[in-house]
Structure 1
Amino acid sequence: MDFGGRDKATYVKETFNSIAGHYDLMNSLMSLGMDKHWRRLAVKRVGAKPGMHILDVCCGTGQLSLELGKVVGSEGNVTGLDFSQNMLEVARYSLIQSSNPGNIRFIQGNAMELPFPDQSFDGATVGWGLRNLPDLRQGIREMIRTVKPGGKVVSLDMAKPSFPVFKQAYWVYFEKLVPLMGKLWAKKASAYQYLHDSAREFPAQDELVRIFTECGLIDSHFDNLAGGVVAIVTGTKPVEQ
């Protein structure tokens, strides 16, 4: 990918700052409204329960954090972290507008160096965020570090469909139509071209499972959604002996 002479972290931050106000609308359009259902499945995979403390890395506009808050309730809490200030402003506004009973806070921070002590959370999620990190493995290891033994790390992200014909049609849609939608509704075609390019380069779901295991998680596996267009990858932090 061409970052215009900038490093990936700077490019991604500037890109998401520029589309923050249209991000949720575009997600709904691109996913045909299925994105909310996918987030709810990710909440189930992380094992969220009332009273738990959950970390949502690369939380963006906070939609996954809000779903987590509904489950952990007023006795639990959710911490959403992102490095895009504009995305966080949308997240905070969404929280104010919601009737969410959960204790949710949004903070600006770096997923490469999470500002939390070891074993701070009962589980950690990341929605459409791992592919934006400058170092995928470092980001996963940081999530593992902050999760308690027995807790789960869950990624919800674009994946690689494998069915012939459907696979080709998907990539044509992603390469041609998504940037056009971004130009029409978000006034930023380049941002949605980046979405295509980053999805192309992001590891397939079976490869991400292998990376989860390599980073120290156990029982790692994936669930395909929408024919493998999107996948949830889940791993468990081992219980210390």
Structure 2
Amino acid sequence: MTNLTKKVDQDTAHFGFQTVAKEDKVSMVANVFHNVAEKYDIMNDVMSLGIHRIWKRFAIDCSGVRRGYHVLDLAGGTGDLTAKFSRIVGDKGQVVLADINNSMLKVGRDKLRDLGMIGNVIYVQANAEKLPFPDNYFDCITIGFGLRNVTDKDKALCSMYRTLKLGGRLLILEFSKPIIQPLLKIYDAYLFYLLPKIGEIIANDGASYRYLAESIRMHPDQETLKDMMEEAGFEQVKYFNLTGGIVALHRGYKF
């Protein structure tokens, strides 16, 4: 590979199936989530037939979070994981709901405040690649269905590693690659044909959900993401395939 090719690779990123400049991807992804924020929860229930709640419950069960812990719910969006963690950590703990997108953060803040969760939850607009938190601060970091939208995933993983305490754990819940071949064909048909139509009907935005389908396809598979986590410094990295690998939960520790 020539130096010129390396530079081109460093300066570009995938936006779905497109290759775009890194600085453009940030604004393009932001526009997608500005568009879908108000209907995000409804679409999650429709798209997954409610199964996303089971995936998130499994992530929480694997988190090891206890009373008094400090938790970062990164790309936390509308706050589903934050709500659960807030109850677990109690008044001696803290949950940071962080998202790069202010529209998603506003929806999450309004929803959690309506639920009365104001004492131990704070809200931070933050880029996963350069987290504005001290070293060795969090007992647990979760990122649910957000890593595939990050421009530089390796940089983000290193940033998460830096802010975790020794003994802390990272949990990445994300769409992945189905491990059953017949399921893969059905899943592709759903992603690329049905999902944009549902987005058009419910959210009046088929294009954003077409991007989300493409971003799922372009996201690293289970083994690749495991290798990326280990490269960032995480140890005892393990993943769990959920719903036949449609979703995977990756867990790694900082020692």
Deviation of residue 50 (structure 1)?
0.9
Cα separation, 1, equivalents of 2:213 and 2:235: 30
Tell me by how many angstroms 1:44 deviates.
2.1
Would the alpha carbon gap of residues 3 and 99 (structure 1) be closer, same or farther in structure 2, given more than 3 Å must change?
farther
Compute the displacement of 1:4 (Å).
8.0
With structure 1 as the length reference, what TM-score do the two structures score? Answer: 0.94
- Find the counterpart in structure 1 of residue 246 from structure 2: 229
Q: Which residue of 2 aligns with 1:200?
A: 217
Q: Deviations over 1:124-148 (max 9, x none)?
A: 0000111001101111111110000
Residues 76, 102 of structure 1: 8 Å contact kept:
no
Q: Which of 64, 83, 94 is the matching residue for 1:66?
A: 83
Counterpart of 2:98, as a letter, is L
Q: Provide the aligned length of Structure 1 versus Structure 2.
A: 238
TM alignment of 1:1-241, pairs within 5 A: 1-2=17-18, 7-100=24-117, 103-238=120-255
Higher relative helix content: 2
Preserved CA contact (<8 Å) 1:39 1:67: no
Name the CA distance, whole Å, in 2 between partners of 1:51 and 1:102: 13
3-state SS of the aligned residue for 1:173? Answer: helix
Name the CA distance, whole Å, in 2 between partners of 1:102 and 1:235: 29
Taking the aligned partners of 1:190 and 1:3, their CA distance within structure 2 comes to: 17
Match of 2:91, SS? coil
| Contact 2:148–2:216 (CA under 8 A) maintained in structure 1 | yes
2-structure distance, mates of 1:192, 1:23: 11
**Structure 1 residues 3 and 13: CA distance shift in structure 2, 3 A:** farther
Shift of 1:100: 4.3
Look up the equivalent residue of 2:190 and give its one-letter code: Y
Query: Which secondary structure state, in structure 1, belongs to the residue aligned with residue 64 of structure 2?
Result: coil
> Do the aligned residues in 1 keep the contact of 2:112 with 2:118 (CA within 8 Å)?
no
Unmatched segments (≥5 aa) in structure 2: 1-16
How far apart in 2 are the matches of 1:208 and 1:233?
8
How big is the alpha-carbon RMSD for the aligned residues of Structure 1 and Structure 2?
1.5
- 1:90-124 alpha-carbon deviations (Å, 9 max, x no partner): 10111112144861111112111100110111110
**Taking structure 2 as the reference length, what is the TM-score of the superposition?**
0.89
How far apart, in 1, do the equivalents of 2:50 and 2:19 lie? Answer: 30
- Aligned residues with identical type, % of pairs: 37
Work out the CA distance in 2 between the residues paired with 1:91 and 1:63. 8
- Partner letter of residue 66 of structure 1? A
SS at match of 1:73: helix
Shift of 1:174: 0.9
